[in-house]
């Protein structure tokens, strides 16, 4: 880690954390915030031990949660197999969640994409995915983390 520039080093996070993407997430121990370094996210978090990644993007929004969710669904369908999708509510805000199975070089991974239509014409896209092959307990762990989202 000594040879990694300070601007590229992860910062450990736990507890309720402002993601700078319009939402807060209550992270358990083991998570860290990473610089985005060209990734298409406003904020990027990873739990290397659990092989989970959370990428978030905040954007101007003039569309419904369903319309935004359809865009997430098309994107994930182009990369894998959509296994479930539909409208949800995230901390009182309208949202649309898509679950997809993605092929990896050694098996399959899981991704949950959620588009949230927030107040003041803002939106947040949340992508939580396995950074390797899906583990048996990933889905429950992912659902539990997503359930902690709070609007800012």
Q: How high is the pLDDT of residue 56?
A: 97
- In this prediction, residue 110 carries a pLDDT of 94
Predicted pLDDT of residue 136: 85
State the chain's mean pLDDT as an integer: 92
Q: Measuring CA to CA, which residue among 31, 54, 51 is closest to residue 43?
A: 54
Residues 70 and 57: their CA atoms lie apart, in Å, by 16
Cβ of 132: how many Cβ atoms within 10 Å?
17
Bridging pattern class, strands 80-90 and 93-103: antiparallel
Domain ranges of the chain: 6-151
Task: Give pLDDT tens digits for 28-66.
Answer: 999 999 999 888 999 999 999 999 999 999 999 888 899
3-class secondary-structure state, position 138: helix
Q: What is the mean pLDDT of residues 138-151?
A: 96
User: Which CATH superfamily groups domain 6-151?
Assistant: Mog1/PsbP, alpha/beta/alpha sandwich (3.40.1000.10)
Cβ-based neighbours of 78, under 8 Å, separated by 6 or more: none
Residue 149 contacts residue 91 (beta carbons within 8 Å):
yes
The token pair that represents 127 in the structure block: 């992508």
Instruction: Please check the confidence at residue 107 and state whether its pLDDT lies above 90.
Output: no
pLDDT tens digits, one per residue of 59-103: 998 888 999 899 999 999 998 999 999 999 999 999 999 999 998
Integer Cα distance of 69 and 63 in angstroms: 10
Residue 137 has a pLDDT of: 87
């Amino acid at each position: 880690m000594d040879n990694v520039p300070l601007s590229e080093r992860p910062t450990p996070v736990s507890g309720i954390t402002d993601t700078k993407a319009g939402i807060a997430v209550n992270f358990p121990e083991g998570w860290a915030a990473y610089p985005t370094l060209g990734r298409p996210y406003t904020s990027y978090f990873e739990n290397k031990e659990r092989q989970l990644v959370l990428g978030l993007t905040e954007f101007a929004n003039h569309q419904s949660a369903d319309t935004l969710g359809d865009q997430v669904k098309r994107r994930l369908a182009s990369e894998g197999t959509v296994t479930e999708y539909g409208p949800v509510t995230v901390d009182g805000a309208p949202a649309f969640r898509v679950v997809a199975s993605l092929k990896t070089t050694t098996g399959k991974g899981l991704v949950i994409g959620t588009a949230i239509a927030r107040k003041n014409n803002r939106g947040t896209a949340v992508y939580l995915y396995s950074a390797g092959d899906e583990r048996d307990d990933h889905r429950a762990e992912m659902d539990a983390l997503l359930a902690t989202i709070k609007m800012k």
